[in-house]
Amino acid sequence: MKTILQAENLAKIYRVGSVDVHALRGVSLEAAEGDFVAIMGPSGCGKSTLLHLLGGLLTPSSGRILVDGEDLAAASDAERTDIRRRKIGFVFQRFNLFPTLTAEGNLRLAERIHARSNGGDDPARRREVLRLLRLEDKMHHKPLELSGGEQQRVALARAIVTRPAIILADEPTGNLDSENSQIVLSMLRELNERFGQTIVMITHNPEAAAVSRRIVHMRDGQITKSDR
Amino acid sequence: MDSIVVANIRQRPIRALVSMIGVALGVSLVLLFTGLARGMSNDVERRSANVRAEIMFTRPGSQELISSMANLSTKYVEQLQQIEGVEAAVPMILYVFQSGRGFGIERVEGVDWAPFAEMNQMRIVAGRPPEAVDEVVIDQTKARNSKTTVGGMLQVFGKQPYRVVGIYAPESGARVKMSLAAMQDALEVTGKCTYILVRCRNTDEQVEVAQRIDRQLPGNRIQFTRDVMTNIERSIPYLGVFLRVLTGLAAVVSALVVMLAMYTTITERTSEIGILKALGASRRYIIVEIEKEALLISVIGCTLGFIVAICAGSLIHRTYGLMFEYGWAWAITAALIGTLGGALGALYPAVRAANLDPVTALSYE
Ligand SMILES: Nc1ncnc2c1ncn2[C@@H]1O[C@H](COP(=O)(O)OP(=O)(O)O)[C@@H](O)[C@H]1O
Ligand SMILES: [Mg+2]
């Protein structure tokens, strides 16, 4: 199968005052189209840093990142933003929805940014995504009127409504109770199985890891184990 | 509703309103001041255009912009009439005083009606000329503003009211006129006047006539009507500069108000800017979104400013009789200042927001 994501020997050093924090020390990772990768590891081992690098929110200190054939590490700030716009959908632990917009408004915003203007309006796609995530009757609710699980489903809907090549999820169930976690996880699984959506997900939760196709373990800024 | 601009304004309506009021204040100030300057200037110009005398003969220092005294002997009238080229000479007292309403200045003229009317082609459109010491005539604007007509009483100065015996046209100089004798009586200046209006036989010879008067009656002050009765902008030096400075200040106020509003907005919504960045919004997109919001606030503020200016102008006009005339050029300037000021003020916060680091912004509480 086609490789859609390829990271080679990534290093990331944060400078805090005069101290260098080595968050990543040579990480290589590959994901094929339709893959579902779970990244596990103790807190502070560099998982979020890796995910931010893969999505172009950060630049690596060294190494290469190819997203669907485009080199993120070599790209300028504006080019990375553009690759992110076209190819990446993010889901965060804190949901990060626009509080002033309704669920549908949040999806429309993602569409508009994706289409770079006021275009990109695809009500059919929106309805399909909202139905898939069982949110049809929540379309006109604002985030504060929704439960945590519903908010995360809206965030997931927002991430996939523009059909990105890859979804990057940073502890998507970290703020959810087990019931809502189950719902969100089964939806991720469904997206992956039915639509072949490539997903890279960070998690602490063994149950979450279980829905993935493979698990990558990290420790101290390095990948220690990768199982199928 | 999926516009973040409108959603943001609805989220913080008071802050948006305060910014709008800030912009409105600047805009309405510009409109009111320029409208007043223009209105008063045009008013004086219209009234002085109807004075047909070319020369004003006075004592030095007898008439300034906001004060006047009667210290010129009316005996000069006969002497002036002897001078070659002089067709008519009419003495007049101009009395300028602080209005009873404590705002602005009022002017009343004392003049013998028949020669004055003949010289300046004035006519009485209702009633008759003033004769007795308690009689005045007024022009149509004064009649309208004070809601007085022939037979009515008018408080001019002092305690006793004056009877309006006639209405004259066209408007010229002071809107209230009484007979010279009545004014001399009121001011206790028998035999004196403020200046003597001199009409030349031939308007083109006014300079020569003036020189002749100066030679024969030296030591007095000879002015040309066209120089004295000029527009206010020229007679109050630096009024134009003042108006431009005011306009500049209004622009600064608009810019600062909008800048402050957008700056706090952006600090408050740092994590939302992080979301926009995570969704792949370019720097330009973020700047444009913030500018849209600033522009919407400014445009509403401008509209508010126009409404305030028009209402306040007409209220001040009705209360104090000051004239406001709004010109297109200044209206456009005021509108540009409000909107451009706002847009410019928002630029710094917008650029700052666009330059935020996405990961830091996303984790902002
Ligand atoms: N912006 C930053 N500045 C400095 N150090 C950072 C920054 N972000 C992360 N780190 C450090 O890098 C390491 C990896 O962090 P992170 O990638 O967030 O780990 P994880 O997501 O696995 O908990 C940690 O030691 C963390 O303190
Ligand atoms: Mg993390």
Same domain (yes/no): B132, B192 = yes
How many other C-beta atoms can be found within 10 angstroms of the C-beta atom of residue B26? 29
pLDDT at B341 over 90: no
* Runs of H (alpha helix) within chain A: 47-54, 77-87, 103-115, 123-132, 148-160, 178-195, 206-211
Same domain (yes/no): B215, B196 = yes
- CB contact under 8 Å between B2 and A101, yes or no, is yes
**Is A82 touching B (CB cutoff 8 A)?**
yes
Report the pLDDT averaged over residues A152-172.
Answer: 94
pLDDT averaged over every residue in chain B: 85
Distance from CA of B288 to the nearest CA of A (A): 11
pLDDT at B3 over 80: no
CB A47 near ligand 1, within 6 Å: yes
Summarised one tens digit per residue, pLDDT across range B225-276 is: 877 665 445 556 677 788 888 888 888 888 888 888 888 888 888 999 999 9
Summarised one tens digit per residue, pLDDT across range B69-106 is: 788 888 999 999 999 999 999 999 988 877 655 455 67
- pLDDT-based confidence at B68, cuts 50/70/90? low
Same domain (yes/no): B245, B170 = no
How many other C-beta atoms can be found within 10 angstroms of the C-beta atom of residue B174? 21
Summarised one tens digit per residue, pLDDT across range A20-64 is: 999 999 999 999 999 999 999 999 999 999 999 999 999 999 999
| % residues pLDDT > 90 (chain B) | 36
Interface of B with A (CB under 8 A): 1-2, 4, 7-8, 10-11, 271-272, 274-283, 285, 358-359, 362
Same domain (yes/no): B156, B204 = yes
Domain ranges of chain A: 34-59+76-227
Residue nearest atom 11 in ligand 1 by C-alpha distance: A23
Residue B338 is predicted with a pLDDT of 85
- pLDDT-based confidence at B12, cuts 50/70/90? confident
Same domain (yes/no): B282, B316 = yes
Report the pLDDT averaged over residues A98-122.
Answer: 86
Instruction: Find the A96 Cα to ligand 2 centroid distance in Å.
Output: 15
The answer as to whether B81 is a domain residue is yes
Question: How close are the terminal C-alpha atoms of chain B, in Å?
Answer: 25
pLDDT at B2 over 60: no
Using a CB-CB cut-off of 8 Å, the residues of chain A touching B279 are 84-85, 90, 109-110, 113-114, 158
Report the pLDDT averaged over residues B128-144.
Answer: 90
How many residues would you count in chain A?
A: 228
Report the pLDDT averaged over residues A76-80.
Answer: 94
Check: CATH 3.40.50.300 for A34-59+76-227?
A: yes
The SS3 assignment for B319 reads: helix
Using a CB-CB cut-off of 8 Å, the residues of chain B touching A24 are none
What is the DSSP code (8-state) at residue B338?
H
Same domain (yes/no): B136, B241 = no
The answer as to whether B187 is a domain residue is yes
CB A45 near ligand 1, within 6 Å: yes
Domain count, chain B: 2
Using a CB-CB cut-off of 8 Å, the residues of chain A touching B278 are 55, 57, 84, 90, 92, 96
**Is A101 touching B (CB cutoff 8 A)?**
yes
Same domain (yes/no): B174, B59 = yes
Residues 13-72, chain A: which have Cβ within 8 Å of B?
52, 55, 57-58
CB A46 near ligand 1, within 6 Å: yes
Residue B192 is part of which domain span?
52-224
Q: Are strands A88-91 and A166-170 parallel, antiparallel or unpaired?
A: parallel
Distance from CA of A159 to the nearest CA of B (A): 8
Same domain (yes/no): B150, B256 = no
Same domain (yes/no): B36, B57 = no
Q: Produce one character per residue of B200-236: b if its CB has 16 or more CB atoms within 10 Å, e if not.
A: beeeeebeebbeebeeeeeebeeeebeebbebbbeee
Residue B156 is predicted with a pLDDT of 80
- pLDDT-based confidence at A176, cuts 50/70/90? very high
pLDDT at B1 over 50: no
How far is residue B314 CA from its own chain's centroid? 12
pLDDT at A224 over 70: yes
How far apart are alpha carbons B152 and B165 in whole angstroms? 8
Same domain (yes/no): B256, B149 = no
Summarised one tens digit per residue, pLDDT across range B149-173 is: 898 888 887 777 899 999 998 888 8
**Is A105 touching B (CB cutoff 8 A)?**
yes
pLDDT at A7 over 90: yes
Q: Which of A142, A77, A3 is nearest to B1 (CA)?
A: A142
Residue B62 is predicted with a pLDDT of 64
Q: Are strands B153-154 and B162-169 parallel, antiparallel or unpaired?
A: antiparallel
The answer as to whether B232 is a domain residue is no
CB A180 near ligand 1, within 6 Å: no
For B357, name the nearest residue in chain A, comparing CA atoms only: A57
How far apart are alpha carbons A94 and A91 in whole angstroms? 9
Residue B64 is predicted with a pLDDT of 58
CA of A39, nearest ligand number: 1
pLDDT at A166 over 70: yes
pLDDT at A150 over 80: yes
- pLDDT-based confidence at A117, cuts 50/70/90? low
Distance from CA of A50 to the nearest CA of B (A): 12
Summarised one tens digit per residue, pLDDT across range B275-301 is: 999 999 999 999 999 999 899 999 999
- pLDDT-based confidence at B67, cuts 50/70/90? low
- CB contact under 8 Å between A101 and B281, yes or no, is no
